[in-house]
Amino acid sequence: MIVPLNHILLVAAALFFMGLSCTLMRRNLVMILIGVEIMLNAAGLVLVAGSAFWQQLDGQLMVMLIMGVTAAEVAVALAMVVYLHSRTGSIDVNTFKDLQG
C-alpha cells in the first residue's frame, strides 16, 4: 500500500466530521443531503482502505453496495425536496416543523 492506512483514516475522519458539521449546522435541505453524502463517502473511503490493507475484496464490494444505496437515497430525497419546494416555496428545515408527529 503506497499511502499509509493511518493517513487514509485521518482523511476519512476529517471528511466525516465535515459532513457531520454540514448536516448539523445547515438549515437547507440540499446542504443536509450533501453532508450525508460526504459522511457516506468517508465511510466508503475507510472500507476501501481497509480492503486494500488486508488484501480482501469485501470492503470494495461493500462500497459498491453503499454507492448503489446512496444513489437511490439521493434520487428519493431530491424528489422529496423538489416536491416540498413546489408546495411551500422553501427548502428551509424550519418551514417543515409542522411535519413532526
Neighbours of 79 (CB within 10 A): 10
For residue 1, the model assigns a pLDDT of 62
Domains and CATH numbers, the chain: 5-89 (1.10.287.3510)
For residue 101, the model assigns a pLDDT of 66
pTM over 0.95: no
Assign 56 to helix, strand or coil. Answer: coil
For residue 42, the model assigns a pLDDT of 95
For residue 25, the model assigns a pLDDT of 93
pLDDT mean values, one per 10 residues, the chain (101 residues): 89 96 92 94 94 90 92 93 89 80 66
Grid coordinates representing 60? 470494495
